[in-house]
Structures are given as structure tokens and as C-alpha cells.
Amino acid sequence: MIFKSLYQSKFIYRQFHTSSPRHIHPLIWVFLKPALKGVAWITGRSTRKWYQQLPPEKRSVFAEHLNRHKYKYIGIFGTIGTACAIHYYTHLEASPITGRRRFMMMNAEHLTLMSDMEKEKIAKMFSDQMFPEHSKQTQLVARVARRIIGANMDLDNIRNIKWTARVVDVDIKNAFVLPTGDIYVTRGLLETLINEDQLAIILAHELSHALLGHSAERLSYLQLIDMFGMSIFGAYIIWSIFPRDWISFVVNYIFENFITFTSRLPYSRLLEEEADEVGLMLAAKACFDVREAVALWRVVHEAEMNAALPEFISTHPASAKRAETLNEKLPWALDIRRQCHCSPLPENKPPVSKLNISNNPNEKVMGILAKPIVSVHNIPVINVNKKEKQ
């Protein structure tokens, strides 16, 4: 979500596995994760209580047993570690477009199932707050999205998704794209943006998340961290070695936050930065003014200066850092525009007013669309036949 290299689209990255990967069903993990954490706590605490109740002579016998069979236990833990390493390696694949190697436990079917569930949830929650397909708001989002999609039809993922667009009539400033191709933008965000180029930057960023499979990757990474870190081994060790329950609780709380700040949040920021870069490429190929990406994040930074969280405790990079990073990539993005034979951008862009968006959901578009929208179940379907350029 928002408000929260070389040009590589010509290359094809193929996955290589020594054996067929086994994907865990995401719904299973919903129930398995808390169960594993509970088992780790209970068994760790039980181990501690058992050892504390042993008389001194029994503790000596136990220590002697461990010393006598230490190589056996080393072999057992080594085997488990090797199995985990094999599991990790056989689930590595190349990310589309960028080719970055990543761990992936979820497959397309699982992701589609979860996306459909999320779509149903959104439909129920905002059933009376969706702008109709003929509204200016929905048509605007569909037109900008169509232009981005049409300019990037050389990407396999973008051709294989049925894209739709919806605008939710709420004040919240947000936009997101489900992996199934469902694009959601809020009225609050549209009323905040200055021009279509800024809308294109946001949509391209969110489309990048869907094209790169970031939802599945993030869930896979979190499962990896939970399974081999906090949920089992870490929690068991903590609850077994500390002498009091309250100490174990405090240490476990600190450990969980340590994992969050050092693993989960940095990885989330990595995905956001990747989506920023790929989104800049998508917008550049569609001949939008990519300079607006820098302007957009500078405005966001100024707006959140008094309330922004430090980057290290945020899932997103700091807005000022995003603006700086995107500014460094502008020459690369502008070169992509030139390669796509886009019209030159004016050096001094005149000031513009905000997007002409009415609050009336029944107000129809007049001359804003380049081609009509086809309706399927009252959802504007983004049909792209050729690239639209400005």
C-alpha cells in the first residue's frame, strides 16, 4: 500500500529446483503458527520445571548422559539443520523482472485463494461505498491503469492477469492491488493527488507488487522466520533456560521485537524499494512524467514530518529516503522514456491544480477516456489492445 539497475524486462528468469518444491497451504499456517508457538512455550517450560525438580545426583547423571552421547545429539541437530537447508534451497526462485533470488513457499493457487477471500471481504465491507463503473473517479483510474498495462505487455505476468479497477468512496488515502489483478483506489487519495502522473506513479508501484508476487513472498518469508526462529527453536530455548516464568515472558517479548526490527521490517522495506524501482520503469514505459515520483514523495515527507515513525520501526522506507532514491534513478527512468519514443518532457513544468474529481459518484466522464470500459459484474475491466502514449 501507498501512504504508508539495468532495464531488465527483456530478460526471462527461469526457476531451477533440484526437486519439485512442496508448497504449504497458507490457511494451514494460520492455525499451525500459534499452535507451534504454544507447543514451544509449553515444552520449554516443562523441560525447565523437570530439570529444576531433579535432585543433584540426577542432574549429574543427566550431564554425564549428554556428554557420553554428545556426538549422537550433534548428529541429530546436524541432520535437522541439513533438512532445513535443503528445504530452503529447493524453495528458492527468481523474482520476475528483477531476477532477485527469494524464498517462496506459496504457489499461485494458494495466493489466488487468499486474494479471492480478501476481495470478498472488501466487497462486503464497502459494498455501499463503491463508485459505479461510469463515474469519473473509476474511469480515471481505469484509464491510467490501462495505459500502464498497455505499455508493459512485453511482461508475461501482466498479460496473464485480468485487471479490474474500483474506487472506494472513503476519506482514507490508500491504493492497493490484489495479486488477482483487482485495483482499489480510495477517493481520499484521488482528492490528494495533483495530476495523473502522480496517480500513475502510485498505480505503477502497486501493480509492481502484484507483478513481483510480493504478497506471496512476504508470507513465505514470515513463515520461514516464524518456523525456524521465534515460534519453535527460539521460544523453546527461552522458556527452558530462564528460571522464572516472568523472566521468560520478558525475554521472549524482547526476542520477538528483535526479530521484527532486524528481519521482518527490513525485508518489508526491501520489497517496497523494489516496487518503487519497478514501478518507475512501468510508468516510464507508459510515457508518464516520472519526475512526479520524486515530487510526490517529497510532498508526503513534508506532510508527515511531525507524525512519521523512524524508518527502522516502519514497514515502508522513509518518504524522504524514497524521494532521494527515486531522484537517483531518474536518469535511468528518463532514458527508458526515450527508448520508448515518448514525447520529450518540458524542462519547467507549469503549476497545475488537483485532479478534477467530483464527489458525485453518478457524474459521468466527458472526454476523459481514450476508449470505453467493458463491464463485467459492474467491475470495470481494463482491456488493453495496444500501448497508449502521451
Report the catalytic residues: 206
Cβ-count burial of 210 within 10 angstroms (0-12 exposed, 13-18 middle, 19+ buried)?
buried
Determine the Cα–Cα distance for residues 42 and 120; give it in Å rounded to an integer: 37
The grid coordinates listed for 155 are 511482461
Distance CA 141, CA 130 (A): 13
DSSP-assigned beta bridge partners for residue 379: 376
Measured in degrees and rounded to the nearest 5, phi and psi for residue 359 equal -80, -5
Q: Specify whether the CB–CB gap between 141 and 165 falls below 8 A.
A: yes
Do 288 and 200 meet the contact criterion of CB atoms below 8 Å apart? Answer: yes
Amino acid type, 55: P
> Rounded to an integer, what distance in angstroms lies between the CA atom of residue 233 and that of residue 241?
12
Determine the Cα–Cα distance for residues 251 and 92; give it in Å rounded to an integer. Answer: 32
Note whether 119 and 182 are within 8 A (CB): yes
Q: Give the helix ranges, DSSP H, for 304-355.
A: 319-339
- Rounded alpha-carbon distances, angstroms, from residue 367 to 111, 141, 203, 254, 375: 38, 14, 22, 58, 19
Strand, helix or coil for residue 375: strand
Q: How far is CA 136 from CA 122, 152, 201, in A?
A: 21, 25, 19
SS3 of 114, please? helix
- The 10 Å CB-count burial string (b at 16+, else e) for 74-87 is eeeeeeeeeeeeeb
Q: Which helix (H) or strand (E) holds 92?
A: strand 92-94
Classified as helix, coil or strand, 203 is: helix
